[in-house]
Structure 1
Amino acid sequence: MSVEIAELNSKKSMPPIQFGEEVSGAETLLRCLILEQVEHIFGYPGGAVLPIYDSLYGSYFKHILTRHEQGAIHAADGYARATGKPGVCIATSGPGATNLVTGIATAQMDSVPLVCITGNVAQNLIGTDAFQEANITGITIPITKHSYFVRDVRDLPRIIKEAFHIATTGRPGPVLIDIPKDVANAKAPFYYPEDVNIRAYRASLVPSDEEVNTFVEAIRSAKKPVILAGGGIIAAGADKELLAFAEKTRIPVINTFMGLGGFPGVHELSLGMPGMHGSYTANQALLQADCVIGLGARFDDRITMGRTKEFAPNARIVHVDIDPAELGKNVATAVTVAGDVKSTLQKALPLVSACDSQAWINQLKEWQQQQPYKYKKEDGVLKPQAVIELLYNTTEGNAIVTTDVGQHQMWTAQYYKFKHSRSFISSGGLGTMGFGFPSAVGAQIAHPDRTVIAVVGDGGFQMTNQELAIVSQYNIPVKVVILNNQCLGMVRQWQELFYDNRYSQIDLTCSPDFVKLAEAYGVKGLRASTQEEAERVWAEALEHNGPVVIDFRVAPGENVYPMVASGNTLDQMELGEE
């Protein structure tokens, strides 16, 4: 039965909840989710969670039945990244729970708030190798912010309250709640705690005045300062504060890959993305800066290239992060501030003034003019970079764009100038193929009136393309852009450059006909092989009010440039054929 996306987003009145009424663990869970203002749940049922799904029958929630648990958790992740609210997913015990593992690790690496609910066999069967038994709490300890195994139904309300608090405070992350079937069936009087009091967990948010004053003094005398703005800007909702801070101090801004959209890509002070496939100007700015201000950035190996001693060699590094464990972890820092970047910038803004940086800004603009992102155009050949430019020009940078992982991901980061926070959704730290399409589904459900584009490769799309069933069922108008180069493009690029053209297991020429695949699911399918066809079919896709899959047949041998080879320093950039 088809259900329109509008129905998935229709506002229902919250059902009355009676405290003290004796209800099952499954009903307790749903009442707690209502009180946490959860509306959308992504999941897949099975034996251990049948009590929960029985309580879901005809309930207040909009449940989206994905076709794989990995699709459920990636959709919940996309929903969370697009809204800032915790995403919620449900899976059954055993393989259902273990199918969430990749998505949990993805969220943990990128600091995404998720509450993952799994079922388990009844407690009397734990440890007997019962059917579909798995120690999912043990499996996920290294990749969650916290994991719970519920032993008593009376503890369930407290655990759910704590789970949402942990997932969304401090550095966000995924929390797992494993509920044995006997706990889901057991009954207890319903309550929900008003406050959370977790011993040894205190999420520090506001930095001290002393830290902020030291931060301000550290940047006051800089002549070549640069801001390195990471995903923490987006997680904290600090994009407006960053914009005001950069404009008042006249300090140029580099956005890390995870920070794209946290500062407008079209702003005169924007230098783009740094690192392995970053812009020439961003990397030169880091090499020559006398002060690097890291705001919610991890200084990871794709930026430092693992050569931390040679990274920003002339700069004092100032680091602001909500997670004290990140301060000084990867690079030596002169000044550290433990606190959320929004609060830090709010307290610093009245204290700062414009830096004497105009000569520095002029130099950066010159580099931008001399070495922009560029590629070689060929008649009759559709270049992947041109497809991303087409997406940007037609949406004016206002779409929500999700990606898989690979060459298309880097081209999207390079050629789509993101204007708004929470408009770029991609697996950064873990680099998860198959993430792009289902995360777009979650983002579109969160924002039904916005254009949502999933940019995927022909490899990654085949990992989760079964979720075409739900975009068809609910008429979720995601536009799936496949940059189809008929190979595992990034692997091919590395084999070309570093393995003497020994192409091993990268051939995807026998992939399905993606247009026919889309049509088999009842989704509109289009194809383009030239620039003229690309412009025509993309215009048709944008006009269509439902989901569309567009198979862009792009140049198979195209490489991503600029590129800094692994182990090299930022001054050793390969700029490509041009």
Structure 2
Amino acid sequence: MTGAKALVTLLEDRGVEVIFGYPGGANLPIYDELRNSSIQHILVRHEQGSVHMAEGYAKVKGRPGVCLATSGPGVTNLVTGLADALLDSIPVVALTGQIPRGMIGTDAFQEVDAFNITMPVTKHNELVKKESELVKAVDAAFYIANSGRKGPVLLDLPKDLLDEPYPYDLSETCSLPGYNPTTKGNIGQIKKALKAIEKAERPLLLVGAGVESAGAMSEINALIRKLQIPVVRTLMATGVLSFDDPLYLGMIGTHGNGLANRLVNKEADLILIAGAKLSNRSLLRADLFGKDAKLIQLDIDPAEIGKTIEIDIPIVGDVKETLRDMLLRIEDKPIRVGVTPWIHGEHQKTKTMLPKADAAEVMEWVCQELSKIDLKMHVTTDVGRHQMWANHHMTNPKHLPLITSGGLGTMGFGLPAAIGAWFADPQSPVVNLTGDGSFMMNMQEFIVAVEHHVPLTVIVFNDFRLGMIKELQDSSYGKRHIAHDFNKEVDFPLLAKAMGGEGRLVVRREEIAEALFEAIHSRRPNLICFDLERIHLRSAINLAEKAS
């Protein structure tokens, strides 16, 4: 048995079903063993795509996605995806080939210092230097990636270690005495939190992506019902409550709605923050957030508590476990709660802070029509204006939570993430909402969907520019524009057809529903290009004609 055979056996034993990868000289020993493995290998077209596919897979499957790259440019092409997974707490295990150990430090062909390059963008990384360390390294990688605050782990594997005989026991397990995430919330802090909630007159629950990551959706909903507490969320926490639930009051932050922001900044007298990273996008102004409120923060990561704002009652622990303890405590010793919530927001939650001065409202129309399709689907977005419109107007619970890039804001994330999501759940079609700028970042991965007959619909919102950049130049730079317009129109439907898929251009509002229905129900790789300007203009002309 070689080191490469041992590695593949270890991956099989840990339940790995799919690897997204790209071969090169340093990782070919692994590929040679994958030929006879039960693990399915998906050949991506760029290493960045392999990480995003692993992220999409992990988000749907609930366990680490695995990607594989070679040394040198293979490693450096992973960096953006690893950073994305780190900032959004997504469990990924990245395996990279490395030049033989005796050549390290000689500037050999395709040699880079993968360990130091990827240290800032991984939760843990390791250059495996000895054959005897391989089993422990693999065991640790999967455990660390999927425990505590989840995140990416990278193992750098020298080619000679993979080629040489492997005489060690594969049943060995790792011991990590220095890594012991706190999962059970302190009962004293839980009691303090419940007492504070009971005393509050205007309590509010702020939910972040950590709730879904912990698998705590049923627990958070039980707490909401038990306390009749209104709910707001961050960008990454779509789908916690049904959009039409009167307790759901919308998204906070720079692209949130006025009601949600007013509640957290001015009106609530207590805010329970569950699994939320309070970054600058969530806080319009850190000095105003919960200024007159008691703040309770529950998070698995102690470094996240109090990072940007001062917290009154911190609770470190797994969100699911801690919410269960809170619910049990309430059952044993009921706390006083109002018969009805102190605020309803049915008529205000859709009043977003998004500008509607141009053709951007076409994205709202598309999201509304898409939400009418009564199928379970996994929906990804890229980054830009469409990401925000989707966050507000994708309302069908069967399509949520959205799979999107929040912390890093990675353009090009959505298409490969959608493909990865399908490999995790092949029974459900996948949809990628994207802009023309984002799509061109990783559009080569569309051919992977064609090769594997993925029921993928790519929706390109085409405004022939970097729309969010223009908005920022309008609002912050006195409408002084540079480098936001694309000077050449791209025929995206033709590109999709060239790669073996279907493509369609939509220029009328009346075509939106039909185009979406046909593409999604075809269960084939499709691309629909929505020409925002032409749809908006023709809609305006039609309204004017009707008025006259």
* 1:358 aligned partner: 340
Do the aligned partners of residues 97 and 557 (structure 1) sit closer, same or farther apart at CA in structure 2, a change above 3 Å counting?
farther
- The answer on 1:35 being equivalent to 2:17 is no
Alpha-carbon deviation of 1:530?
A: 1.4
Once the two structures are superposed, residues 224-274 of structure 1 have per-residue CA deviations (whole angstroms, 9 ceiling, x without a partner) of: 111111011011000000001001100011121111123333322111211
Shift of 1:538: 1.4
| Residue 163 of structure 1, aligned match among 134, 141, 147 | 141
Of the candidates 428, 438, 462, which is equivalent to residue 450 of structure 1? Answer: 428
Greater RCO (CA < 8 Å, at least 6 residues apart): 1
Cα pair distance change 1:544/1:337, threshold 3 Å: same
Given that residues 227 and 293 in structure 1 are in contact (C-alpha distance below 8 angstroms), is that contact kept between their aligned partners in structure 2? yes
| Matched letter for residue 35 of structure 1 | D
Alpha-carbon deviation of 1:419?
A: 2.4
Match in the other structure for 2:262: 284
Structure 2 SS opposite 1:301: coil
Distance 1:219-1:421 versus aligned 2 partners, 3 A rule: farther
Distance 1:137 1:430, change over 3 A: same
2:92 is aligned to: 114
Of 153, 158, 166, the match for 1:180: 158
* Cα distance in 1 between the residues matched to 2:360 and 2:165: 65
Give the secondary structure class of the aligned counterpart of 1:202.
coil
- Partner residue in 2 for 1:543: 521
Instruction: Give the TM-score normalised by structure 2.
Output: 0.93
CA contact (8 A) 1:28 1:190 kept: no
Q: Are residues 80 and 107 of structure 1, via their aligned partners in 2, closer, same or farther at CA, if it must alter by over 3 Å?
A: same
Q: Is the 8 A contact 1:121 1:133 kept in 2?
A: yes
The amino acid across from 1:300 in the alignment is S
Q: 2:541 aligns to what?
A: none
Q: Which residue of 1 aligns with 2:544?
A: none
Structure 2 equivalent of residue 390 of structure 1: 369
Identity %: 39
SS in 2 for 1:189: coil
Partner of 2:484: 506
Q: Structure 2 regions of 5+ residues with no counterpart? A: 537-548
Whichever residue aligns with residue 276 of structure 1, its letter is T
Whether 1:318 and 2:300 are equivalent positions in the alignment is no
1:295 to 269, 274, 290: 274
User: By how many angstroms is 1:384 displaced?
Assistant: 1.6
With normalisation by structure 1, the TM-score equals 0.88
1:418–1:98 CA distance, 2 compared to 1 (3 A): farther
Range that drifts further, 200-209 or 190-199? 190-199
- 1:141 aligns with 119
The aligned residue for residue 192 of structure 1 is 170
Aligned match of 1:206 = 184
CA distance, structure 1, for counterparts of residue 310 and residue 83 of structure 2: 27
Residue of structure 1 aligned with 2:242, choices 232, 239, 264: 264
1:361/1:374 CA distance change after superposition, 3 Å? same
Say if 1:511 and 1:101 are closer, same or farther in 2 by CA, change over 3 A.
Answer: farther
- Unmatched 5+ residue regions in structure 1? 1-22, 559-578
CA drift at 1:401: 1.1
Residues 323, 376 of structure 1: alpha-carbon distance in 2 compared, 3 angstrom cutoff: closer
417-426 vs 227-236, which moves further: 417-426
Q: Is the 8 A contact 2:94 2:154 kept in 1?
A: yes
Q: Which amino acid in the other structure matches residue 203 of structure 1?
A: P
Report the counterpart of residue 222 of structure 1 in structure 2: 200
**Partner letter of residue 483 of structure 1?**
F
C-alpha deviation, 1:367, in angstroms: 4.0
Counterpart contact for 2:379–2:400, Cα < 8 Å: no
Deviations 1:124-162 (A, max 9, x none): 110111000011110011111111101111210110001
Residues 277 and 334 from structure 1, CA distance in 2 versus in 1: closer, same or farther, beyond 3 angstroms? Answer: same
Change (3 A) 1:535 1:478: same
Alignment check: 8 A CA contact 1:260 1:418 kept: no
Cα distance in 2 between the residues matched to 1:136 and 1:381 = 42
Greater Cα shift, 97-106 or 537-546: 537-546
Alignment pair present for 1:413 and 2:391: yes
Larger mean CA deviation between 51-60 and 387-396 belongs to 387-396
Give distance in 2, aligned partners of 1:455 and 1:507.
20
Helix, strand or coil: the match of 1:304? coil
Residues in 2 aligned to 1:387 and 1:253: alpha-carbon distance in whole angstroms: 26
RMSD (CA atoms): 2.1
Is the partner of 1:294 in helix, strand or coil? Answer: strand
| CA positional deviation for 1:512 | 2.1
User: Could you report, residue by residue, the CA deviation over 1:74-116 in whole angstroms, capped at 9, with x for unpaired residues?
Assistant: 1011101112110000000000111000000000000000000
